[in-house]
Chains A and B, each alone.
Chain A
Amino acid sequence: MNEVITEEKSESDTQFEPKILGFLCNWCSYAGADLAGVSRNQYPSNIRVVRLMCSGRVDPVFVMDALIKGVDGVLILGCHFGDCHYGDGNYEANINYEMLNLLLKNVNIDNRVEINWVSAAEGTYFAKIVTDFTDKIRSLGPSPMAKINTPKDLLLKMKAIKQVVYDPRVRKLVGRERKITESGNVYNEKIDKGDFILLLKDALNAEYIRNQILLHLNEEPGSVKVVSEKMKMDTTTIFEHFLVLQQRGIIDVLEIKGFSPIYTVI
């Protein structure tokens, strides 16, 4: 009998306690979290909250920053659609999240970031969301980024994703999403949401590959073939991206070794 109890105790002692970062908007979700407190709704203590005025302030760069630093899960909570104190900041948060989610699928970390909507009146619901998310992250185990020996390959890919969300191209596209899908572009062409996502996917995919190429070349100059092998991708695709990067004036040929040009970041 005693043995069973000690076993249980030791299990709970060694239970993985994830580090969870919450981005809460001041007006709805933070107020909902306050209400959970006032109502004494109990939930796991893993979450650490950063209060922002609006979920629209959650720059994807912040989320990538947190993930790279080893946070096990990121929870973004805003107002319900139509309830945003600022009108539509939560729509902006949502498209940013969708974009980040697409990118994180490449490294299987997409399930560690979640977005949800909590009103100021939903204290119990807030507690439920946090509990469910904590349980989910706990069952996923520690983030691969949190381990002491983070695979070098994964770290490079995560850095590439952070760069994608930092760079102007994707930010311009995502920033104009609602304009393009709701009121049309400068030519009054309205693109529906589905088409926009396809467009976004293409852009994300290309930028993701290009940023990985840049990080590899930053480590050491190399040929198309060497970088392709490192990235486990076919040379034709990689070559096309090399050309784009060269046209943009970001990389150039350093020397010719044998028959292969060796590229470097300018």
Chain B
Amino acid sequence: MKMNQVRSQIQSMLHVESGADGFRATFKADSDFMLFRDHFRGRPVVPGISLIQAVLLAGAAHEGADDLRLCALKNAKFFAAVLPDDQVLIDAAVVRGEDSTVDIKANLTVNQKRLAQIALTARPAPAGR
């Protein structure tokens, strides 16, 4: 499986520590992040979907999968903008479903300030694609 360019770059900016019931990850988008130029020109902000992608990629690492595909976004709340070089801390609980799905509830913070809450359901991407 070869993931898209944005996910590949986010993965390279992500560090994941797996725990028994979840994971803790850090994500820092430096000024080279490919979406900054267009989101937005002259005032770069990490897109909300890239935070979701970071949660999915960290979840994949936790599950030992190459990647996770989004099935449903139950709820996501964004409280502040993430700027270049902000160190985002992701604390997540993971519950495996019976149908090979995983439910992830993640709290995202920057410098202990609440940044976002994301609750989603995902499915491991088929291997070898």
Do they bind each other? no
